[in-house]
Amino acid sequence: PATNLQAVLLPKKEAERSNEQALLRSALAEPIGSPRLRDLARRGQKIVIVTSDLTRPCPSDRLLPPILEELVAAGVPEDDVTIVIAL
C-alpha cells in the first residue's frame, strides 16, 4: 500500500554512467575506507578472483582488466592470479 512506501529508487541515467572505465579506475585509485588494491597485494601472494558467468548481470569483462592492472602494478605476476567463473 502507498502508506508503506518510503521512496522509489531509480537507476542513474545512462549519460551519468557513460564513462564506466573512468569511474572504475577512479574507484580503484581512491577506495573508500580501504587502502588501494595495489597497496594490499604483494609479490609472492596467490590471488583468486571469483566472478559471475555470463548468466548474471555482472560486467566481468569490463571489471577484470582494471583489477588485473592494479595487481600487476603491485608486482603480482599474472601467473599468480587465478580467476574462477561461477554461478
In 3D, which of 84, 2, 8, 3 has the Cα closest to residue 47?
A: 84
Q: What is the pTM of this model?
A: 0.74
Mean of all residue pLDDT scores within the chain:
90
User: What pLDDT is stored for residue 14 in this prediction?
Assistant: 66
Q: What is the pLDDT of residues 67-84, one digit of tens each?
A: 999 999 999 999 999 999
pLDDT along the chain (87 residues), means of 10: 87 70 92 96 95 89 94 96 93
